[in-house]
Amino acid sequence: MHTIYLLLGTNLGEKAANLNLAKQLIEKEVGQVLVSSSIYETMPWGIEDQPIFYNQVLKVESNLEMISLLKTTQSIEQVMGRKKYRHWGERLIDIDILYIDDLVYNSEDLNVPHLQIPNRRFTLVPLVEIAPDFIHPVSALSQTQLLTECPDKLEVKKVNI
């Protein structure tokens, strides 16, 4: 059994409903959602001329191995109607694999831990909410320490839904 952290992101359509549906499909196809962060409204990162995002981190328990997990999360994105408009651009749903246990894996298709974790407040704020002391297996820093050192200063605020 693996402990997995997933980041959900959406900035098109009914954003809260998109996150809820993704969570339901993850529960069905990936494994039990143990903890969900609050939903956060976040400013676009990378490309600023697009709608504001909603982001959420899930802690999931799963039997899926790394590549099966990647294929399953990509399948969920497709089922939900994701289309890639542009890199870092708008999306109906995005499911990023942040961590799988304390594994380190790098390939053309997948990097675990996700390479951008230390650089993104929209990832670190919800991670700190549900796993503040989880240690990044490469940097050996906790999520709280990573957030303190994060160079990203974009606003991330909790949504009251």
Q: Which of 94, 120, 133, 152 is catalytic?
A: 94
- Quick check: is 152 catalytic? no
Q: Give the three-class secondary structure for 25.
A: helix
Q: Which of 82, 86, 101, 102 is catalytic?
A: 82
- Quick check: is 94 catalytic? yes
Q: Which of 86, 91, 109, 121 is catalytic?
A: 91
CA 69 to CA 135: how far, in whole Å?
Answer: 21
CA 106 to CA 29: how far, in whole Å?
Answer: 24
Q: Which of 49, 96, 101, 109 is catalytic?
A: 96
Give the amino acid at 62.
S
Q: Which residues contact 153 (CB under 8 A, 6 or more apart)?
A: 121
Q: Which residues contact 25 (CB under 8 A, 6 or more apart)?
A: 76, 79, 80
Q: Is 45 left (phi over 0), alpha (psi -120 to 50) or beta?
A: beta
CA 99 to CA 92: how far, in whole Å?
Answer: 22
Beta pairing, strands 156-158 & 40-42: antiparallel
- Quick check: is 121 catalytic? no
Catalytic positions, written as ranges: 82, 91, 94, 96
